[in-house]
Chains A and B, each alone.
Chain A
Amino acid sequence: MQVAQNWRLNQQRYRLMGEECPNCSVKIFPPRDVCPACMAPAKELFALTGVGEVFSYTTVYHPPAGYEFNAPYVVALIKLDEGPVLTAQLTDVEPEDVSIGMPVEAVTRKLRSDGDEGMIVYGYKFRPIM
């Protein structure tokens, strides 16, 4: 398990730290330092609120190694209120209750577990807004 590869993403995983384009004001997540809308340099940090809606979704029945512990799980594309779309698991909801357009909010949960001796990775998941 790559420790530094995960550690350096702490700001994104725990705070949804993205960027704002100084040229056209587009909000960017995941951060990429170049605005995908106008191609201007965009390194100004901008924390997203973590509120949005389900854009698409599926349920993973055959998980990759490290993700067996909570399979089957729902993975969704979330369209955040500020504009960006991201990929995340849904939590606190049954697969059959998920629908496109459902309002959701970010929470911090365990993403990955490599067994008793291995590393545990935490990060954002999304749950329905009651």
Chain B
Amino acid sequence: MTHTAIIGIGQTNVSEAWDTSLRHLAWYAIEAALDDAKLSQREIDAVYVGNMLAGRGSNQRHLGALIADFSGMRGTEAIVVESAEASGAAALRQAIFAVSSGQIDTALVVGVEKASDTTGNDFEAALATSLDVEYEQAHGLTTAAQAALLMQRYMHEYGVELGAFAKFSENAHANGAKNPLAMYRNVLKPGRFEIAPTVAPPVSLFDAAPAGDGGACVIVTRTDRAMEMAAEPILIRASATATDTLALHDRRDMLWLQAAALSSQAAFAQAGLAHADIDLFELHDGYTILAAMSLEAAGFAERGAGTTWDGTMPLSSFGGLKARGNPLGATGVYQAVEAARQLRGQAADCQIENVRTVMTQNLGGLAATAITHVFSLV
């Protein structure tokens, strides 16, 4: 148990928001979360921002002070946390630390990304800054190509066909179609996955999650305060993180997401829960290979058998990164918001029946950073 809880949630839709700035996206999410928690800005003691690209993509760093000021919290402690696509969950984890320590009573976590401020080759270069600059970026590697190297090797060693990965994208799109905040609301027809336009083979357009703009926000306080402040606080049962090499070539066992495994194991231990207790796994489906290997690393599938997933364990309930859209450094906060909506029974058409415990897992790179959280009702 972390002895912390979520008392307010907010999010924007994920899209290519050409007419909306980074600071506005953050504010819209913050405004919604403050509304939800029935709090004013004066009651927030610290702000934790999760973001990946703004320094390179929008020429804007120092987001802590910027967003605190723009959101009516001038003077409030604020900091930005960066761990590539895992920045959102990393920011949430810092808030949990701050509140647990007793230094901060009420913390606000906002994940925000403005992917569309750069496009084309410049966007690829910005995204690739999460790879090893000396030994990966220097050779023209992109994030999609890195995932492709992993997927190609996985298919080769385990004898898995490309079509076996289609189920992850089809599930994400089926769920995204029911989510008004999703970037893509089209269903993916059987047979389309295998013939999609290529990005970096075997990774295709229907495999890689599309980067999008968006903001998501959660407000965190100690559980005892949460009981008094909120009708339905969401307990943070576990928060655990681990790291691995940035570069794929530096991994001794390339076909195993070691950081994801370590953080999952630690999260189960912290929560005192077993796999059967998890009703929904919001995993990081930036690529289908990550979905398959995350299931293995978290112990929901045997090693090499991630693609045998049969739908029994619900995944990507609002569309996941693939269909809701991939707001990069905001993803981990979206996952927390979505977990809370499921637990409160506020997921509308995306509602999974009888959800009492949700595990979320946010990955940076190919799980060079892995952050796992477990949420439940009181």
Contacts and interface: CB of A to CB of B under 8 A. Distances in A.
Contacts of A86: 135, 249
B153 A58 contact: no
Q: In the complex, which of the residues B140, B141, B248, B250 has the most CB atoms of chain A within 10 Å of its own CB atom?
A: B140
Interface stretch (B15-23, B63-71, B193-201, B314-322): B193-201
Interface string A52-76: 0001111111111111100001011
A60 B145 contact: yes
Interface string B125-164: 1011000011111111110110011101100100000000
A87 B136 contact: yes
A60 B153 contact: no
Chain B at the A interface: mostly helix, strand, loop or mixed?
A: helix
Given A56-B150, A56-B153, A100-B152, A62 B142 contact: yes
A15 interface: no
A9 B139 contact: no
A58 B145 contact: yes
B124 A87 contact: no
Contacts of A50: none
Contacts of B250: 30, 36, 85
A102 interface: no
A59 B144 CA distance: 10
Nearest to B249: A85
A9 B133 CA distance: 11
B366 interface: no
Contacts of A51: none
Nearest to B133: A5
Interface footprint category on B: 35 or more
A65 B149 CA distance: 20
Contacts of A88: 139
Interface in B107-123: 121-122
A59 B122 CA distance: 19
A59 B153 contact: no
A5 B203 CA distance: 31
A17 B42 CA distance: 57
Given A36-B250, A86-B249, A87-B247, A100 B156 contact: yes
A59 B139 contact: no
Q: Which of A9, A73, A86 has the most CB of B within 10 A?
A: A86
B252 interface: yes
A55 B133 CA distance: 21
Contacts of A67: 121, 140
Contact of A62 (B134, B135, B144, B254): B144
Interface string B285-321: 0000000000000000000000000000000000000
B326 to A, nearest CB: 15
Contact of B142 (A36, A63, A111): A63
Contacts of A121: 138
Interface in B54-98: none
Contacts of A77: 149, 153, 248-249, 254
B140 A60 contact: yes
B153 A64 contact: no
B140 A100 contact: no
Nearest to A32: B250
A87 B133 contact: no
A30 B133 CA distance: 12
Nearest to A60: B145
B138 A59 contact: no
Interface of A: 5-6, 9, 12-13, 30, 36-37, 55-68, 73, 75-77, 84-89, 100, 111-112, 121, 123
Given A60-B200, A66-B125, A85-B254, 18 more contacts: A37-B252, A56-B149, A57-B152, A58-B145, A58-B200, A58-B201, A58-B202, A60-B140, A61-B198, A62-B199, A62-B200, A65-B121, A65-B122, A77-B153, A77-B248, A85-B250, A87-B141, A87-B248
Ranked nearest first, the 3 interchain pairs of A and B with the lowest CB-CB distance are A58-B148, A64-B125, A56-B153
13 contacts: A5-B133, A56-B156, A58-B200, A60-B142, A63-B142, A64-B137, A65-B125, A66-B125, A75-B141, A77-B248, A87-B247, A112-B140, A123-B139
Interface of B: 121-122, 124-125, 127-128, 133-142, 144-145, 148-150, 152-153, 156, 198-203, 247-250, 252, 254
